[in-house]
Structure 1
């Protein structure tokens, strides 16, 4: 019988497979963005679930990069976690490293914001404040257009994510920046 996960349990699972500070910080950033969108999009009662999906989305990436979004399914099933959690986590790799399609709005948000939070986070590190708190949309758009900046952040995935959500790219950029600003740690 699968069960729901608490945030503390999700963190314990994440840190069993991830040790690098960069990966842990990225997971927490995506968690906070997912929690923000849960509330913004009318899924407030699901905030914990959305947050845990964000926290665990790269569960297998550090130890099993060649099996990303595949190995996590196996690991989570061994822990008897909910199938909807497993599907949601794996779906952010759709068309990239797995064939689990994002169907729920939450899964589409995760797909769209994963790469984008990395790009915005990298842009923040270039600022004197090292923070998104004083960043404007025009700065994000400029960095997005500069293919040499944060070259590892796949702009096509971000664009596909916006399309899946039915949002203009600028709306996705703006809302994700707002979501990151809502967490004072960013």
Structure 2
């Protein structure tokens, strides 16, 4: 999988279209989660690519929420992103705002963890520690079942993604919490460096 974008360029692009710290934090978190999953699932030579897909997955969302995953295609093409990156980024909107189906395992992971990381992040902010470091699967499951909690995070999409991957929900919750633990500190540090 080849793409012409470096991480530095990808971050510049992300910041050009995203000014809210919340969106930057989400992008950096999903980048870290994707890198973790790549390592765990045996895609060690594609870790950077998986990370770029995570970093840029919502590049158009803040400025063009009504054209999410549609506008991203031209934004990324104008930045010389490869077709593989564009397809991967936009496939997480499958059945929601585009008909680009997640094909590769990485695309199915992104489809699943995008919404789940939002739910887990919201749950972490409610904890005394404000962290996923001491979060357990059972506490995230409880939040998942409470439809009123982080109502914007689609449980249907998370379920659909887990099904695509052939994972049971416990595995998805556990891996995603571990993935978020792996990058929580670096995300916080990078946001500070970027003055967010």
Q: Say which SS state the counterpart of residue 182 (structure 1) adopts.
A: helix
Structure 1 gap segments, 5+ residues each: none
Q: Does 1:109 align with 2:109?
A: yes
Moved over 2 A (4+): none
* Structure 1 position 7, deviation (Å): 1.1
The residue that corresponds to 1:61 in the other structure is 61
* Structure 1 position 3, deviation (Å): 4.2
Q: More relative contact order in 1 or in 2 (CA 8 Å, sep 6+)?
A: 2
The residue that corresponds to 1:19 in the other structure is 19
* Structure 1 position 184, deviation (Å): 3.6
- TM-score normalised by the chain length of structure 2: 0.92
Contact 2:117 2:176 (C-alpha < 8 Å) held by counterparts: yes
CA–CA distance in structure 2, aligned partners of residues 50 and 37 of structure 1: 9
CA–CA distance in structure 2, aligned partners of residues 64 and 71 of structure 1: 7
Structure 1 window deviating more from structure 2 (21-30 vs 172-181): it is 172-181
The residue that corresponds to 2:135 in the other structure is 135
Q: Say which SS state the counterpart of residue 183 (structure 1) adopts.
A: helix
- TM-score normalised by the chain length of structure 1: 0.97
Alignment RMSD, CA only?
A: 1.1
Structure 2 gap segments, 5+ residues each: 188-196
Contact 2:60 2:68 (C-alpha < 8 Å) held by counterparts: yes
The residue that corresponds to 1:95 in the other structure is 95
Contact 1:6 1:48 (C-alpha < 8 Å) held by counterparts: no
More helix by share: 2
Contact 1:56 1:89 (C-alpha < 8 Å) held by counterparts: yes
Residues 3 and 119 (structure 1), Cα distance of their counterparts in 2 relative to 1, 3 Å cut? closer
Q: Say which SS state the counterpart of residue 172 (structure 1) adopts.
A: helix
